Amino acid sequence: MSFEEFKQKMDALEQFFDSYVEFMKTYDSTDTAAMVKYLNMMNEYTKAMEALDSIDESKLTPEQDNYYLQVMLRIDQKLLEAANY
């Protein structure tokens, strides 16, 4: 996989988590519309995790590995931020 293809895959993963974090900041479990959106978000989460699991970290180039670590660090920071809401 080229670096550009890899970058697109990682960027899509980060975009999903951006959406997830924004949703979780405003999530209200008593709102039925939010519950439906949450269920849809969990379906998207499953797809995102499958895409992440499909990456064989042992076969990444140094450039891909560096980008992978940068994206995962940003995602972790965003999830920590959301946990504080």
Beta-carbon contacts of 68 under 8 Å, excluding residues fewer than 6 positions away, are: 6, 10, 55, 57, 60
pLDDT at 78 over 90: yes
Number of domain units in the chain: 1
User: Token pair for residue 40?
Assistant: 């849809």
Residue-wise pLDDT tens digits, 38-68: 999 999 999 999 999 999 999 999 999 999 9
CA distance 71 to 65: 10
Range of the domain at 72: 3-83
pLDDT at 69 over 90: yes
Q: Are 52 and 13 in contact (CB under 8 A)?
A: yes
Residue 81: per-residue pLDDT: 86
